[in-house]
């Protein structure tokens, strides 16, 4: 597997004000080295996010594709662009996510292997109905333990999510699937806010 998926900490940064669509920069959080880039096309009905090794977009690493058009309980398939391997899927829990965001992590065989859950319900409700200026925090749970966290920094112009896999030294969660989840959460940030 590419060394870009071997770090314990990442920083995902989404530039909001872009006419052509959102731009995502993924850094190795330890030394702020750019290790991946994506530009999501604006006005697409069906999400199709591609992660590249850099801003030249010449080497594709991952694809994250929605199975259907505008689905409240959407499932996103994650593929390794180099090998074509289906790494797994991320499925949003539609009705549950109205009050507090929750996602199901599935392996390549579509068996549930974990969940991604937004922090406490009060903050989630405040974000949805009053202000989206309260940073989000997500916990990634597998086998009854929290193995990773995604923490958003407060910034009204640039969304930043700190991704921490350090509680998962044995790589229980495939980093490709974990990074896809963090980019997807960053991509939909604001679409669900009130």
The predicted-structure confidence for 58-67, as pLDDT tens digits, reads as follows 999 999 999 9
- The reply to whether 104 falls in a domain is yes
Confidence at residue 100, expressed as pLDDT on a 0 to 100 scale: 76
Give me the CATH number covering residue 157: 2.40.160.200
Q: Is residue 194 in some structural domain?
A: no
pTM of the model: 0.86
Instruction: Please state, in angstroms and rounded to a whole number, the distance separating the CA atoms of residues 34 and 131.
Output: 31
Q: Is residue 44 part of a domain?
A: yes
Per-residue model confidence as pLDDT tens digits over 23-44: 899 999 877 899 999 987 765 6
Instruction: Judge whether 151 and 166 are in contact, CB under 8 Å.
Output: no
- Cβ atoms of 137 and 119 closer than 8 Å: yes
Per the CB < 8 A criterion, the answer to whether 179 and 187 are in contact is no
Give the side-chain half-sphere CA count within 13 A for 137: 10
**Which structural domain, as residue segments, surrounds residue 166?**
3-188
Report the distance separating Cα 52 and Cα 38, nearest Å.
6
- Structural domain includes residue 193: no
Residue 185: predicted pLDDT = 87
Q: Is residue 172 part of a domain?
A: yes
User: How many domains, the chain?
Assistant: 1
- Residue (of 122, 159, 120, 115) closest to 137 by Cα position: 120
In a domain, 71, yes or no: yes
pLDDT at 190: 46
């Amino acid at each position: 597997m590419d060394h870009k998926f071997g770090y314990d900490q990442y920083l995902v940064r989404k530039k909001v004000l872009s006419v052509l669509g959102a731009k995502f920069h993924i850094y190795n959080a330890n030394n702020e080295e750019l290790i991946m880039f994506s530009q999501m096309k604006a006005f697409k009905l069906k999400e199709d996010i591609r992660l590249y090794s850099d801003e030249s977009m010449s080497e594709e690493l991952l694809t994250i594709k929605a199975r259907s058009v505008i689905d409240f309980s959407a499932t996103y398939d994650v593929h390794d662009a180099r090998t074509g391997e289906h790494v797994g899927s991320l499925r949003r829990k539609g009705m549950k996510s109205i009050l507090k965001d929750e996602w199901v992590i599935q392996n390549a065989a579509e068996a549930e292997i974990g969940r991604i859950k937004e922090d406490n319900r009060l903050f989630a409700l405040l974000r949805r109905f009053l202000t989206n200026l309260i940073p989000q925090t997500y916990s990634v749970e597998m086998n009854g333990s929290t193995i990773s966290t995604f923490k958003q920094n407060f910034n009204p112009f640039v969304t930043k999510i700190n991704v921490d896999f350090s509680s998962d030294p044995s790589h229980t969660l495939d980093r490709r699937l974990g990074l896809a989840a963090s980019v997807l959460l960053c991509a939909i940030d604001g679409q669900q806010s009130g």
